[in-house]
Structure 1
Amino acid sequence: MGSTLTADLRRDLITSSFSVETVSRLWGEEAAAALFRGHRLPALRALRKRREDGEPLTRAEALAALFVLNEPLERAEVDRALPQLGSQGAETLGLVGPTESGDLLRARLDLRPYSFVDTFGAGSWWILSDLGELALGHPLGEDHVLGIGGASTTLSGLMISKPIESALDLGTGCGIQALHASRHARRVVATDISERALWLAELNAELNAVDNIEFRLGSLFEPVLDERFDQIVSNPPFVITPRRDGVPLYEYRDGGLVGDALVQTVIQEAGDHLTPGGVAQLLGNWEYHSGAGPTVSGLDHVRSWVAPTGLDAWVIERELQDAALYAETWIRDGGTRPGTPQFDELYAAWLDDFDARGVTRVGFGYVLLRAPHTGQTGAEPLARYETLHGGRGDNPAGLGEYFQTALEGHDWQASLSDASLLTSVVTYAPDVTEERHYWPGQENPTVMTLRQGSGFARSVPLDTTLAALVGACDGDLTLGQLCGAIAHLLEVDEALLVADVLPRIRSLVDDGFLLPLR
């Protein structure tokens, strides 16, 4: 029954042109921008003006009013907007229900279009989730199933999307990461501790005609026991929450453990569920602690979690908040407004917890782990821990392709001795540019910088030697030939030049500035 109704809903959404492009045009740019900021009044005013002018709503407009703005509609309007499913079918699916007066229908779930671009091109889905605080008008319930937000789009953009056999979405929520993984994995397993989340995730897969995802109930890795996957993705419930009566424990963001122990657990157990060469990618928080000595970095915590696993690790801290700001952020996220007694009570609980455990700040970032390849022995695991607060480059399909290129480059250069590297040919990546600054009237530049257009928009200072070498990396000559020619031109000792530039060449390959050819 559910599959038939879901198919009817899918046909209605297709024929109504209920898409991101259509919805974004409904209320005008200013109203759409206000909606993105969490304010629906400008869009509601535009909707009401349409009605006052006597203009009938199009089907897409009616769906947007009902599910995006949470405006109640007459049953006849819902029937016109969903001619295949009908209002009765929408009630059976749990999409709508009667208002208190009983003469109108109101959304019971959030339903909105979602579009994206990945390495396979542009795509779009419709995503069901629970109504947000804006629509509800009160704080969220603890079993709330979150829709697509900033964290979920961040993780999907990080996802390496090369074709694989199997993927695991750990803590799937509304199922968005599993849907993304289904585009490059032949088989996907999606798990969650919430029965409601799994119901909505499975409904989203049906709604979008995706049939290669299996849904399983359970905590962390319990539902997959001894199974291994080529890829694990997880936006885990990593939010640090006080373990105190009266503090809401939202399933979508709280893993039931103290502090950052949930992220620690995922990191330490991921390797047991990866195939050789398999990759795990997740988001996480980590605490900075103060004690008798200096503050302990959150990245040092993560390093200590990873070290016993033997996995390759690339961890990037993208944001750092002090304890008070972190508490404020997540209390507001649950729908409790500042200036209320409830907010102050929760605020005190958070600050008391941080004080008791010596937490001064909390970092947020990305974790990429990789299991050793079959037969790989003796090599030191990759251990890359970076702080990259701020912007990033132009990555239309997300950062997944950048991570894949950088990892392949690292594997290539790490497998070569200095002598072998000198016999190799590299070329600069197509997004790399060189910037030069001159004192007025001077012939030689005073500052030279290599800039990356994609990835994290890194910049690398250049001296004359490295600038000459990178500039000549057009795919014709080996690095050894280039070093010899530059040493002759600059009248310096070739051995000393090689010793100086080779480590920097390796670093440029690691970061994707230089790409191996042969």
Structure 2
Amino acid sequence: MPVPDPLGCASLAADLDAADLRSAPLRRLWGEEADDALARGMREPILRAIEGDEGTLATLGRFFVLGMPQPRRSVEEALPRLGVDGLTALGLATASDTVVTPTALLRPQSFVDADGVGEWWIASDLDEVALGTALPADHVLGVGGASRTLAEIVVPIEVERALDLGTGCGIQALLVSRRAGRVVATDISSRALAYAELNARLNGIGNIEFRLGSMFEPVAGEAFDLIVSNPPFVITPRTEGVPEYEYRDGGLIGDALVEQFVRTAPAFLTAGGSAQLLGNWESRDGVKGLARLDAWVPGDLDLWVVEREELSPLAYAELWIRDGGTTPRDAEFTPLLTAWLDDFAARGVTAIGFGYVLIRRGDAPVLRRSEHVGQAVSGVGEALGRGLVAHDLLASGIPATLVTASDVTEARHLLPGNDDPSVIELRQGGGFGRTVNVDPALAAFVGACDGELTVGQIAAALADLFDVPLADLWAELEPRIRALLIDGFLAAE
């Protein structure tokens, strides 16, 4: 990929805008079912839906979204400002006198964040469907599941300086740029940086600086209010014949790349600054991965780790072998599987966890929290942000007035014939979707938190109701109220 020409990018953006190459028009063009099928690696339903359609949107859909060659005349008509020569100069195609062949995908990508709804054009390398083969080692990935996950978990705060480490196609840098004065985006791949810069220029974003280099080397001596990273964390055997995909493999043994990141990142944070990343961690020789991860982060820093899943070595190996385009039907599958399982066995790995890591250079008292959350989640960034705010607020004690979050419901379970519930649950509709078992006193406390009565008044009334000394009741309720504040069941008025 060449360094993107600003005028060429502006011309391409104007052509794409005129053609209305966006998610909603494309879904209307070929139908929602066909659009969903493409996400599962099938393009035939789209081709059937637009068969014989030579319009501009259909042409650009086949060319940029599916990665299929198109007649030169059709591409020239679809991109009147840029033209085929401009397209090839940007490194997005090769051309003959009659046919233009894409060398990259360029797809509309919708997003929703705390600032609203939007959509960008995101260019990346041709995928397996377009290539018809397994991915090359230097593949630059588009917006995938991990990218969307990281985007969802980043706490939506305004910052002066942000760092996107391992930017890839640049999607995180673009998202962070909406809430940052300046963003530095780094990557070890010059091709990835070229795509990221192209995507920034295509979408009119000018507050991102792109730097080539590994890990924190390009920003030595600098500090940031926010660091985000979807690093190449996939654990890959260092064995001959095992592909080393740049977009997912950092070249280190086991989970050493995640360890290196979390040990190093704090030195690049401003006071109050935070770092958020996705990662894998190994459970080895009886030591759980979450415990190993906790030991990597100095004890004077806030650490909140959410493990979303834990896989066996076999399940993990199969997942990432298939991710590279190799299936059990291929001759390469068994040797790759053997290499992965041998690698895990050599280190005594019994399980591999995946999840989110948040590190913050906050004020005392320190927050240290590692948990497994397997249920469906939504709005994780906002939930983490509320938890941090609540933790900081609790340093001065429980606020005088509390309110129950609007997404909290209560469920009571009674045995047949009994009037008193055997189980009372508080359930969270958003965020981490937690369910917490509570006793009648705590359930009554949460139910009374409507902003009218103070915490002290509610506690005193409950002490009278349950005929227990106020000091005893408060000693029981106070730590659990703190937990409900951090978990988002309760909030300060």
**TM-score normalised by length of structure 2:** 0.96
- 1:350-365 matches, within 5 Å, as 350-365=340-355
Deviation at 1:80, TM superposition (A): 1.6
Q: Tell me which of 430, 434, 443 is aligned to 2:410.
A: 434
Q: Given the alignment of the two structures, is residue 455 of structure 1 paired with residue 431 of structure 2, yes or no?
A: yes
Deviation at 1:149, TM superposition (A): 0.2
Q: Percent identity over the alignment?
A: 54
CA RMSD of aligned residues (A): 1.5
Contact map agreement 1:271 1:309 (CA 8 A) in 2 = no
2:45 counterpart residue number: 42
> What letter matches 1:401 in structure 2?
E
**1:210-261 deviations in Å (ceiling 9; x for gaps):** 0000000110000000100000000000000111111111111111111000
Q: Within 2, Cα distance between the matches of 1:264 and 1:432?
A: 36
Q: Within 1, Cα distance between the matches of 2:123 and 2:236?
A: 26
What is the total number of aligned residue pairs between the two structures? 490
Q: What secondary structure is seen at the aligned counterpart in 1 of 2:303? A: strand
**1:361-405 deviations in Å (ceiling 9; x for gaps):** 111000000013xxx4xx34211000112312xx4xx32111111
Q: Given the alignment of the two structures, is residue 14 of structure 1 paired with residue 17 of structure 2, yes or no?
A: yes
**1:275-311 deviations in Å (ceiling 9; x for gaps):** 0010100000001113xxxx221101101111x3631
2:73 counterpart residue number: 76
- 1:377-416 matches, within 5 Å, as 379-392=364-377, 395=378, 398-416=379-397
Deviation at 1:122, TM superposition (A): 0.4
> What letter matches 2:221 in structure 1?
D
Q: Given the alignment of the two structures, is residue 305 of structure 1 paired with residue 286 of structure 2, yes or no?
A: no
Q: Tell me which of 171, 183, 187 is aligned to 1:188.
A: 183
Q: Within 1, Cα distance between the matches of 2:185 and 2:416?
A: 61
Contact map agreement 1:96 1:107 (CA 8 A) in 2 = yes
Deviation at 1:315, TM superposition (A): 0.2
Q: Within 1, Cα distance between the matches of 2:386 and 2:55?
A: 46
- 1:223-372 matches, within 5 Å, as 223-290=218-285, 295-306=286-297, 308=298, 310-372=300-362
Q: What secondary structure is seen at the aligned counterpart in 2 of 1:341? A: coil
Contact map agreement 1:44 1:69 (CA 8 A) in 2 = no
Q: Within 1, Cα distance between the matches of 2:415 and 2:32?
A: 45
> What letter matches 1:143 in structure 2?
D
Contact map agreement 2:84 2:95 (CA 8 A) in 1 = no
1:98 counterpart residue number: 95
Deviation at 1:436, TM superposition (A): 2.4
- Structure 1 unaligned residues grouped into runs of 5+: none
Q: Within 2, Cα distance between the matches of 1:196 and 1:316?
A: 32
Q: Within 1, Cα distance between the matches of 2:393 and 2:160?
A: 24
- 1:187-206 matches, within 5 Å, as 187-206=182-201
1:221 counterpart residue number: 216
Q: Within 2, Cα distance between the matches of 1:387 and 1:163?
A: 29
Contact map agreement 2:66 2:105 (CA 8 A) in 1 = no
1:470 counterpart residue number: 446
**1:472-505 deviations in Å (ceiling 9; x for gaps):** 1111222121111111122222211111111110
> What letter matches 2:454 in structure 1?
T
Q: What secondary structure is seen at the aligned counterpart in 2 of 1:83? A: coil
**1:178-225 deviations in Å (ceiling 9; x for gaps):** 000100000000001111111110110000000000000110000000
> What letter matches 1:490 in structure 2?
F
Contact map agreement 2:10 2:202 (CA 8 A) in 1 = yes
Q: Within 2, Cα distance between the matches of 1:309 and 1:461?
A: 30
1:63 counterpart residue number: 60
> What letter matches 2:317 in structure 1?
A
Q: Within 1, Cα distance between the matches of 2:186 and 2:348?
A: 33
**1:116-165 deviations in Å (ceiling 9; x for gaps):** 11000001100000011111111111111110000000001111121110
1:125 counterpart residue number: 120
Contact map agreement 1:323 1:354 (CA 8 A) in 2 = yes
